[in-house]
Amino acid sequence: MLPRLIVVDREARRLDLYRWKKIKRRYIRTFTCLVTVGKLGAETPHGLYFVQGKSPTPDWKVPRSKDYSEDQWGKVYKYGEPGNPFDGGFISLAGSETGIGLHGTSFDPQIGTASSHGCVRMRTPDLLKIYAQCGVGTPVYLH
């Protein structure tokens, strides 16, 4: 697989996927999509991260957030269970202290806003395109 680079512009709420072109010796943007980033108090961090792992059927753990009652915090929903917001897979990022990553969602009217708990959320068809083109070690720059 040729080298890839994922760049997330948190302000524009846009993800760009780049591929290295040997002939021109530079990265060429090959895909762009709209994403949701972390809301106030749960901002998506900035910095350079790397794909640590990929899961096609991720479980979801309820985060410590005022959006959920304390008795829900830490509850785990298996992939496909009602209550699990993940769809299409999860791409985890190495170096993230909060366990954020990139994931799909089947229906989200808030795509393009700052409303997640820190993850970069996108429509499932968009995630599947990214998922197929990145591997462990792919750099992910969040700015």
Each residue's pLDDT tens digit in the chain (143 positions)?
568 999 999 999 999 999 998 887 889 999 999 999 999 999 999 999 999 999 999 999 888 887 888 898 889 999 999 989 899 999 999 987 778 999 998 777 889 999 999 999 999 999 999 999 999 999 999 99
Separation between Cα atoms, residue 120 and residue 115, nearest integer Å: 10
Q: For the chain, give every domain's residue range.
A: 4-142
pTM > 0.85: yes
Which tokens is 85 given?
């917001």
Separation between Cα atoms, residue 24 and residue 27, nearest integer Å: 8
Structure confidence by residue, pLDDT tens digits, 75-86: 999 999 998 989
**How crowded is residue 74: how many other Cβ atoms within 10 Å of its Cβ?**
11
Q: Which CATH class is domain 4-142?
A: mainly beta
Measured over all CA atoms, what is the biggest interatomic distance in the chain, rounded to whole angstroms? 56
